[in-house]
Amino acid sequence: MTSRPDSTTAEAPPVRLTSLAHGGGCGCKLAPAVLQELLAGQPAATPFRQLLVGTETGDDAAVWQLDDDRCVIATTDFFMPVVDDPRDFGRIAATNAISDVYAMGGQPIFALAILGMPLGKLPAETVREILAGGAATCAEAGIPVAGGHSIDAPEPIYGLAVIGTCRPSELRRNSGARPGDALILTKALGVGIYSAAFKKEALSADGYAELIASTTQLNRIGAELGREEAVHAVTDVTGFGLLGHGLEMARGAGVTLAIRDGAPALFAQAEALAQDGFVTGASHRNWASYGAEVTLPPGQPEWRRHLLTDPQTSGGLLVACAPDRADALLARIAAAGYPAARRIGSVESGPSRVRIYTEAE
């Protein structure tokens, strides 16, 4: 007679965090077109003269000026798991949320946790590890998790509300780009492609290590860039992909962003995985939302376009700076621990668009 495992002693297989969510990371963001539709007709915040940055330009955080010497930066960001390791998930989500403060040229000072967990589907230890991962990243940034809020949710959600500060002169918006500026991107692209491969168990151990190293690297260089007069605009590249966040910069400044095809650094396996079809649904939604405002090189294959619309969870900073200072700033960024930083294009006079060009142009 065939024996059966003792149901009272056999361990249940661990639950994959990503299996409990319909999406993951910044790929969960509403498509740009949907977000614009939802925000249409919302009351403007212009009566408040102390509000330096609100919703008008799609910037990374809100900014309130306290006095001549101090601004408060406030942001919130949360999402569903992009990986299965709970501590890694917490670290990634916290790094991504803190990035919004750095992208404004600010320094974070404290955070509040945002937690939604499906009760009964995850053990308490898993949730504790998510929180511990977020707290570890906050400690790395030199800030406390000073409180938060939690709810019972159908899918696991974690993130932070982050408060930071800066001087008014150090504030960097996404709308300050000027014609002639050089464009620098501080991290490699490919997070969404890697996460799609991970969900289908097609990402190698080396690929996973590369994914974690990038998505848990704080964008603290942004606070230094805010003190550079040659830096005119900064934004972080997240769920809308390089094209989407580049387009926000173009719209804010009323300019064209010209990006050289192949100039941004890529994760080592990103091209091969994209060619094999490992792309997210968010990549398709992104292109459907803003493709009409992007000019691509003739005959560009679809997989190359997906590298540019790929949603980046905890991606790098897109920087517009004076061209005569670009090489020195690029060297400084690389020396600060961002070896994938690249000069990727320039800002041109023209309509609010993104133009992808090739070496031959």
* CA nearest neighbour of 117 among 100, 104, 129, 135: 129
Kindly report the three-state secondary structure assignment for every residue of the chain: CCCCCCCCCCCCCCCCHHHHCCCCHHHHCCCHHHHHHHHCCCCCCCCCCCEEECCCCCCCCEEEEEECCEEEEEEEEEECCCCCCHHHHHHHHHHHHHHHHHHCCCEEEEEEEEEEECCCCCCHHHHHHHHHHHHHHHHHHCCCEEEEEEEECCCCEEEEEEEEEECHHHCCCCCCCCCCCEEEECCCECHHHHHHHHHCCCCCHHHHHHHHHHHCCCCCHHHHHCCCCCEEEEEECCCCHHHHHHHHHHHHHCCEEEEECCCCCECCCHHHHHHCCCCCHHHHHHHHHHHHHEECCCCCCHHHHHHHHCCCCCCCEEEEECHHHHHHHHHHHHHCCCCCCEEEEEEECCCCEEEEECCCC
Looking up tokens 């700033």 gives 329
- Which positions are annotated as active-site residues? 26
Q: Which residues of 295-320 are buried (b: 16+ CB within 10 A; e: fewer)?
A: ebeeeeeebbbbbbbbbbbbbbbbbb
